[in-house]
Structure 1
């Protein structure tokens, strides 16, 4: 792509709020956007990389991200997101892991960079789910038990020293 065409693409992306949509109509709703673009409510970040369409590359943080709409995830359904992603309302973390797509920069980290999220909204009374954390009990849910789990450890190494997981039941 010559310099003039790249300038037009960058200008168009800026005018569209940093957005560069990809995919086809009818497919799962994902968009590639410049890293400085806010992730809308109900969407999650699923990949980071550098793209010349979003300006200079080679800095400390990647300048482009892929975001995915979670509105199609039904009650009890799950979605994976990068840990830097906002968590949509009604979703809770169930597991941490690491993948190259969620590395936000070229550096290495001792912490996991991806989460599995479950949609608790709309589940029937009596449903149980195991989620990470101990203090953020969702409204309308009660704690059944608390325990340790390597699935809910954000740090990649070792074993959890404290309870980091709770099983909850919808009241």
Structure 2
């Protein structure tokens, strides 16, 4: 497991820790290049990708960096097209998606091979503090904040590059977590 950045109640962090359940220990590894909270962190092919968030000056970040734990090296990657705080991110079809964020309906897709970002279909609602996962070939974005807390769930269909409202949860949720079972 890996935990990166965040806020300790006083400061925005750049530190990163790895947990080893075999020996029940946390180890500090190379810090991120940028202090950030409200960011996204995904793993793909053994590398960690951290993107977006907010820095300690309250600026919404568009930066992205990767870390290879085997080599112990960080790498700055091409920034997103816009700064995103309180976004969510997933890996889908070998690409990374940066979804929504404070005041945003836009979604961007990162091509790992070409180090490029492309805008894709926009969400139907702003989604600050939503969560996302991939199930049955679709990206699902759940909850978040627009004018108030949302119960809605949107699904992305890559074949038509479109987000559709799927259903509503029983309870409105902001800053929740989701995992596919």
Whichever structure has more helix as a proportion of its residues is 1
Fold shared, TM-score > 0.5 on shorter chain: no
Higher-RCO chain (CA-CA 8 Å, sequence separation at least 6): 1
Whichever structure has more strand as a proportion of its residues is 2
Larger radius of gyration: 1
Q: What TM-score, normalized by structure 2, do the two folds share?
A: 0.28
